Amino acid sequence: MICHHDHARQAAVDRHQLLRPHVSCRIGHDRPADGHPPRCDQPFGGTPGGDTHDGEVLGETHLPATIDIVDLHSIEQTLAELGEPRYRAGQVWRWTAQGAPDYASMTDLPARLRDLLAEQVPFSTLSVADEAVARDGTIKALFRTHDGRPVEAVLMRYRDGRRSLCLSSQSGCPLTCAFCATGGMRFGRNLTASEILDQALHFRRLEPVDHAVFMGMGEPLINLDNVLAACRRLPEIGISNRRTAVSTVGWIPGIERLRDDPMPVRLALSLHAADPALRSELMPVNDRYPLDEVIAACRSYYERKRRMVFVEYVMLAGVNDSHIQAVQLTELLEPRMFKVNLIPYNPTDSPYRGSSPKAIEAFRAELERRGISATVRLTRGREIEAACGQLAARARAASAV
Ligand code: SAH
């Protein structure tokens, strides 16, 4: 927060602070794999368009891939129109990335310019529609885009000080996983890079953040251009690429592109069943990208990146949580390449029920016994319906009444 009583001195202090990583959360140590920090004179680079190739494959060409009316590019454009020097955009971005609450607080910008920006460029591409705080400190936000699309993001606070964001890559989801609240929603559209970053910035304005997972709404690998453009800027917000994970249903073209991209972003695979028929039942996308090909793509990711792939496995009572299914899972995965995260199911309107803690523990023990490293994910924010798509679904239900 900035005090206004002594602008000149305060500005100097703030500038100094902006140049250093925030010590308390040890951010900013990792660089993109190419070793070059992002250039500050082009702070908003990235592809505004969505990954239309993948969209075309899905047969959604009638939907706009992205709508990029108000976003970070507008700041660059507005500054250029005002005849401001190029470095101004870098200044605005640095303030924003460090959690500045508005243009007014950017004290090394001329006051006239701050006023003009406030008039002409919305500070965020998202407005907050709802926010819920759980007893464990988890905060879930429901945003709306300028065209009224719902977007969810969650801040998870851990005892060890980690502050992890769960980000959305799409409004709604084109895939229809049977147990997922987002899967039951209508697909809206890909989010722009700015709309993804603005989720992170919303929480960065509350406190420093250091981890991110693309496990909110949507399939990030169907919107990979914008997800990667956002990942390129996340380190400046405090989240290194190594501390960023992209979670996929197994969208093979996206896994291959992520493998070939120089950023050291982690891959997480939503597996949920080692048996192809059961997986197709839970995740119809399995018919399109069959399990063995998905696992082969993950292996090639591992070989290239030398980073373990995290396998997510939602524990559904009587569906995928038996002893034999644990054994099947160990037969599918190589211990050196894959690590399993067992996810307690967050109940939704679906007919599925979560496995009991005892069943989850037995499953985990069997994986470990057979050499597969497995953890049970901490349940965060259950009472605020922090699972994928749940807040938006609730808002929709409420507005339908
Ligand atoms: N489309 C991507 C990312 C979004 S979902 C993917 O599927 O990986 C992120 C994770 O949350 C996935 O593993 C998904 O299966 C899981 N998930 C969805 N609904 C859930 C629920 N109700 N409870 C627990 N996990 C859920």
120: which 2 tokens? 């002409």
- Identify the pLDDT of residue 64: 36
Give me ligand 1 centre to Cα 328, in Å. Answer: 21
* Ligand 1 binding pocket mutation candidate from 191, 281, 350, 388 (most atoms within 8 A of CB): 388
Distance CA 173, CA 180 (A): 10
- Identify the pLDDT of residue 360: 97
199: which 2 tokens? 């989720």
CB 355 within 8 A of CB 345: yes
Q: Which residues in the chain show pLDDT less than 50?
A: 1-70, 399-401
Beta strands (DSSP E) in 43-187 are 126-133, 139-145, 150-157, 163-166, 170-171
**Which residue has its alpha carbon closest to ligand 1 atom 18?**
180
CB 298 within 8 A of CB 249: no
- Identify the pLDDT of residue 396: 53
Within 6 A (CB) of ligand 1 lie: 177, 179-181, 215, 219, 247-249, 270, 312, 314, 343, 345-346, 348, 387-388
The number of the ligand 1 atom at minimal distance from the alpha carbon of 268 is 8
Identify the burial level of 257 via C-beta atoms within 10 angstroms of its C-beta, where 0-12 means exposed, 13-18 middle and 19 or more buried.
middle
Distance CA 306, CA 300 (A): 10
341: which 2 tokens? 């995260």
Task: Tell me phi and psi for residue 213, to 5 degrees.
Answer: -130, 140
Three-state SS annotation for 181-214: CHHHCCCCEECCHHHHHHHHHHHHCCCCCCEEEE
Which residues belong to the active site? 152, 388
| 292-339 tens-digit pLDDT | 999 999 999 999 999 999 999 999 999 999 999 999 999 999 999 999
- Identify the pLDDT of residue 362: 98
- Identify the pLDDT of residue 307: 96
- Identify the pLDDT of residue 181: 87
Residue 4 CB neighbours (<10 A): 9
Instruction: Please spell the DSSP secondary structure of 253-286, one letter per residue.
Output: HHHHHHHHSSS-PEEEEE---SSHHHHHHH-THH
CB 89 within 8 A of CB 43: yes
Q: Degrees (nearest 5) of the Cα angle 65, 36, 92?
A: 60
Contacts of 360-368 with CB under 8 Å at 24 or more apart are 360/315, 360/321, 362/323, 362/326, 363/315, 363/321, 363/323, 363/325, 363/326, 366/323, 366/326, 366/327, 366/330, 367/326, 367/329, 367/330, 367/340
